[in-house]
A = this chain, B = another copy of it.
């Protein structure tokens, strides 16, 4: 029985309370960035179970190395995050600075240093301004409060135009548990980086192996389904903390009572954050859902969806509101995905523009072009070659993407 209720906002103005029992947070300005909040601290009152997923890049930042090591213990009390400088490619100094961030936070809140995780996002190849970071961590520790997650979400932004938060609740064996998430955008680089960071917190009691499985499933359903510019960062990271203060009977596996509801709630938070990340791509004007059906295999479906999502030709056509099915077919073909042209169907904004091997005509194309003016649009193709499906979220690519990424100068 799946009983999860999504009370999260899917838009910017929602006022759903972004809090979860037993977690406190703060976001402060410490001066890594010239202006705006740039340091976040999230802490659990009690020792929390923790699991993480990390960038697959072969170049990884010092905070990723540190947190990936520490998360293996399965237990943590806090995470400290800064934006502005990513602490990547700084050698041994970078590792020392990341460890010192953790130590400083641990001292300020009175927990063992090994139970504090670290994340950074921003410029590659610059050193963290440690005196400012230290002051910022102490200020954040003094300002921790249950309502602080919104400020924390603000503080981890780089070029994101809005802070991303989501909340869901689930009935776990008669007790209501909450899952909260904050995130910052991917593929959108301030100024050198394309980083996705996500931090999820729940008051549910969950054993570490099952918690890891829930995060992996949520990542596959959410964070791994966004593509803004096809890049993977040196600093990507998603963490899930569970502090157990809801006092439910511990969820040990998918058959534990309430496990499905908890997993669904976590997945929904991940999906809500992912859609906001896609919507907020640099220079983007619309959220695009790419749906592939009729693929000969799951791998074909995934490849087609990601190829469409990353095609410059498709993304610029969507920016221009052009119902250009030719570009969809061309990019799927270029990916060498199996398709039967005479059975293939392309739908843009819900309007069929290509079917039975031919254009559906200029009137359909004009109708689709009007639909593509909406802030949320769907690009769908049935390959006519099988029964597998896949979907990803992305955004269009406009002139502002080039401006943002070209006009940064040293």
Pick from A1-9, A75-83, A88-96, A97-105 the stretch touching chain B. A88-96
Within 8 Å CB of A310, what residues of B? 230
The 0/1 profile, CB within 8 Å of B marked 1, for residues 380-410 of chain A is 0000000000000000011101110111111
- Cross-chain contact A58 with B337 (CB below 8 angstroms): yes
| Residue interface mask A323-334, B partner, CB < 8 A = 1 | 111110111111
What is the chain B residue whose CB lies nearest that of A334?
B232
Complex: A82 Cα to B44 Cα, angstroms: 68
A338 CB within 8 Å of chain B: yes
The reply to whether B339 and A58 contact each other, CB–CB distance below 8 Å, is: yes
Once A59-B332, A124-B329 are accepted as A-B contacts, the answer to whether A341 and B231 lie under 8 Å apart by CB is no
Asked if residues A330 and B59 are in contact (CB atoms below 8 Å), the reply is yes
Return the contact of A342 from the options B58, B91, B125, B321 (Cβ within 8 A).
B91
Interface stretch (choices A209-217, A263-271, A353-361): A353-361
Question: Please, which residues of chain B bring their CB within 8 A of the CB of A336?
Answer: 56-58
B331 touches A231 (CB 8 A): yes
Which residue of B189, B326, B329 is within 8 Å of A313 (Cβ)? Answer: B189
Copies of this chain in its oligomeric complex: 2
The segment from A20-28, A170-178, A362-370 that touches chain B is: A362-370
| A306-330 vs B, Cβ < 8 Å mask (1 yes, 0 no) | 0000111100110111111111011
A59 nearest CB neighbor, chain B only: B333
A330-B401 in contact given A89-B341, A358-B91, A408-B320 (Cβ < 8 Å): no
A320 touches B234 (CB 8 A): no
Specify which chain B residues have a CB less than 8 angstroms from the CB of A248 in the assembled complex.
none
A288 interface residue per 8 A CB criterion: no
Interface residue ranges of A280-324 to B (CB < 8 Å): 310-313, 316-317, 319-324
Inter-subunit contact B410/A402 (CB<8 Å): no
Interfacial residues of chain A within 69-128, with CB under 8 A of chain B in the complex: 88-91, 123-126
Q: Does A60 contact B (CB under 8 A)?
A: yes
Q: Is the CB–CB distance between B89 and A358 below 8 Å?
A: yes
Q: Smallest distance from the beta carbon of A20 to chain B beta carbons, Å?
A: 32
Is A242 in the interface zone, CB < 8 Å from B? no
Please give the distance in Å from A196's CB to the nearest CB on chain B.
12
Establish whether residues B409 and A312, one from each chain, have CB atoms under 8 Å apart when the complex forms.
no
- A379 → chain B, closest Cβ, in Å? 15
Contact check: which of B193, B313, B354, B407 meets A231 at CB < 8 Å? B313
Q: Is A51 an interface residue (CB 8 A)?
A: no
Residues of B within 8 A of A189 (CB): 313, 327
Docked Cα-Cα span, A194 to B313, in Å, equals 9
Q: Is B231 within 8 A of A334, CB to CB?
A: yes
A229 at the interface (CB under 8 A from B): yes
Asked whether A320 and B365 contact (CB < 8 A) given A312-B229, A402-B398, the answer is no
Further pairs besides A319-B406, A398-B402: 12, Cβ < 8 Å:
A89-B329, A89-B354, A89-B359, A192-B330, A193-B326, A232-B334, A316-B401, A317-B405, A321-B409, A322-B406, A324-B410, A366-B410
* 18 A-B pairs (CB sep. < 8 Å): A57-B336, A58-B337, A58-B339, A59-B339, A91-B342, A91-B358, A124-B326, A124-B329, A125-B326, A192-B327, A194-B330, A234-B329, A312-B401, A319-B406, A324-B410, A362-B410, A398-B402, A399-B406
